[in-house]
């Protein structure tokens, strides 16, 4: 297919996200041997910058799993949940559900604590589940991409530990857009990926692994090969991947993480994301009939989920997507399964606005203006 047919859209979906031109160009940098000194030029800074973003010291190991964030989430399940133990999967949306599905498909004794979409974790209900099921591991979603809910995982991790469970956190759509507060939350393992707020292509699962997670993994059987955090350990401590990486993505990641840490600055990046969250909320307040979907006080800094006016269907949102495409943007008509469930219950669907990665307030202003004009013309 001729590449001229590929539209160059500015993505306001919730991942993959828009890439800076410099990051795109980095994908054309020379290939390299991943066990060679050229590999060290890329991966040593990558591992150092990830550690800086996470604010973790030498008591933590940084691991890059070839695959995706889901690959690293599954590694947490396979490495940390032993036969006969219970894992409690706390879910506030589709990606919490996915964590539970992984546990079930890997043969683990899994219990799900599920909350209504748009609502954050109810800590009282979570404690009841901890008392009832006495899990060895608890999985938590920090930033639920399907609903725009950002949970208080710091308190939830502390609650899990109070009841003797190891907390594992999915931070896929938050990390790089806000302080993940890993030292304060102290999960056994924190997982993220590059294609969201880090502003990169997908292709790695990123994990920050504590010493206690390594100790626990040594007591778990059948951890697999690349899903075994102990198997990952030796190469990770050499700032390498266990299996052959995507060298183009590694080049991009080396360039982008250096930009985040040394050019834009980590705190400046977090402030920019907070500003854009507030911009979208202010825009929504000016639109007739629109409502914010996520619970107040638990709204994501990297994406916003909204309910459109009464009478607007999923089919309508998909038509809006094509109208917005004509303006040079990619619109997100909402998470498919969530919207199907909402419409089946006679409820309004939702749509999402991703404001993550290297999207700027100026870019967001242009998008919101275009979207507002299209909605007003309906």
Residues 92 and 160 in one domain: yes
**Whether residue 364 sits in one domain with residue 305:** yes
List the CATH number of the domain containing 179.
3.40.640.10
Q: Is the CB of residue 368 less than 8 Å from the CB of residue 351?
A: no
Confidence of residue 316 (pLDDT cuts 50, 70, 90): very high
Q: Which of 262, 278, 302 is the last residue of a domain?
A: 262
Same domain, 110 and 211: yes
pLDDT confidence bin for 196, thresholds 50/70/90: very high
Query: Which CATH number is 362's domain given?
Result: 3.90.1150.10
User: What is the rounded average pLDDT for all residues in the chain?
Assistant: 96
DSSP character at residue 9: P
The answer on 219 and 92 residing in a single domain is yes
Identify whether residues 257 and 280 lie together within a single domain: no
Q: What pLDDT sits at residue 232?
A: 98
- Residues 289, 231: one domain? no
Give the number of domains in the chain.
2
Residue range(s) defining the domain that contains residue 334: 3-16+266-376
- Token duo for residue 117: 């979409």
- For the question of whether the overall pTM of this predicted structure is more than 0.85, the answer is yes
Sign of the Cα torsion 221, 92, 195, 185 reads negative
Q: What pLDDT, in 10s, does the model give residues 109-133?
A: 999 999 999 999 999 999 999 999 9
Do 225 and 192 lie in one domain? The reply is yes
On whether both 69 and 208 belong to a single domain, the answer is yes
What are 47-106's pLDDT values in tens digits?
A: 999 999 999 998 999 999 999 999 999 999 999 999 999 999 999 999 999 999 999 999
CB-based contacts of 351: which residues, under 8 Å, 6+ apart?
Answer: 305, 306, 308, 317, 320, 331, 332, 333, 334
Last residue of a domain, one of 262, 282, 312: 262
Condensed to tens digits (0 to 9), the pLDDT of residues 276-307 reads: 999 999 999 999 999 999 999 999 999 999 99
| Nearest alpha-carbon partner for 213 in 171, 178, 169, 174 | 169
pLDDT band at 1 (very low <50, low <70, confident <90, very high): low
pLDDT in tens, 347-377: 999 999 999 999 999 999 999 999 999 988 7
One domain for residues 190 and 328: no
- Give, in order, the Cα–Cα distances in Å from 236 to each of 46, 58, 152, 202, 226: 11, 13, 29, 19, 12
What DSSP element (H or E) covers 112? strand 109-114
pLDDT above 70 covers a percentage of the chain that reads 99
Q: Which helix (H) or strand (E) holds 256?
A: helix 247-259
Q: Is residue 177 a contact partner of residue 301, using CB atoms and an 8 Å limit?
A: yes
Domain end position, chosen among 262, 289, 305: 262
Count of residues for the chain? 378
């Amino acid at each position: 297919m001729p590449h001229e047919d590929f539209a160059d859209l500015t993505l306001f979906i919730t991942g993959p996200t828009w890439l800076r031109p410099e990051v795109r160009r980095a994908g054309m940098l020379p290939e390299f041997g991943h066990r060679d000194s050229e590999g060290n030029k890329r991966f040593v800074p990558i591992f150092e910058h990830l550690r800086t973003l996470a604010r973790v010291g030498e008591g933590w190991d940084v691991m890059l799993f070839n695959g995706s964030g889901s690959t690293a989430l599954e590694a947490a399940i396979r490495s940390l949940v032993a036969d006969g133990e219970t894992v409690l999967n706390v879910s506030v949306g589709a990606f919490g559900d996915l964590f539970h599905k992984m546990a079930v498909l890997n043969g683990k004794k899994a219990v799900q604590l599920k909350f209504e979409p748009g609502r954050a974790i109810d800590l009282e209900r979570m404690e009841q589940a901890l008392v009832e099921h006495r899990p060895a591991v608890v999985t938590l979603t920090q930033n639920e991409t399907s609903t725009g809910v950002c949970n208080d995982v710091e308190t939830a991790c502390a609650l899990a530990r109070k009841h003797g469970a190891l907390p594992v956190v999915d931070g896929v759509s938050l990390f790089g857009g806000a302080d993940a507060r890993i030292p304060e939350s102290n999960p056994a393992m924190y997982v993220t990926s590059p294609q969201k707020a880090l502003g990169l292509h997908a292709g790695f699962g990123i994990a920050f692994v504590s010493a206690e997670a390594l100790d626990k993994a040594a007591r778990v059987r059948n951890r697999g090969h690349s899903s075994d955090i102990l198997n990952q350990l030796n190469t990770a401590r050499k700032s390498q991947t266990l299996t052959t990486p995507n060298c183009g993505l590694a080049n991009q990641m080396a360039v982008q993480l250096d930009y985040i840490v040394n050019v834009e600055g980590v705190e400046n990046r977090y402030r920019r994301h907070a500003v854009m969250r507030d911009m979208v909320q202010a825009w929504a307040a000016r639109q007739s009939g629109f409502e914010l979907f996520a619970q107040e006080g638990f709204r994501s800094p990297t994406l916003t989920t909204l309910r459109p006016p009464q009478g607007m269907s999923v089919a309508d949102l998909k038509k809006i997507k094509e109208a917005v495409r004509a303006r040079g943007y990619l619109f997100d008509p909402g998470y498919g399964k969530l919207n199907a469930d909402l419409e089946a219950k006679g409820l309004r669907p939702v749509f999402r606005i991703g404001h993550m990665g290297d999207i700027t307030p100026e870019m967001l202003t242009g998008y919101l203006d275009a979207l507002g004009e299209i909605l007003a013309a309906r």
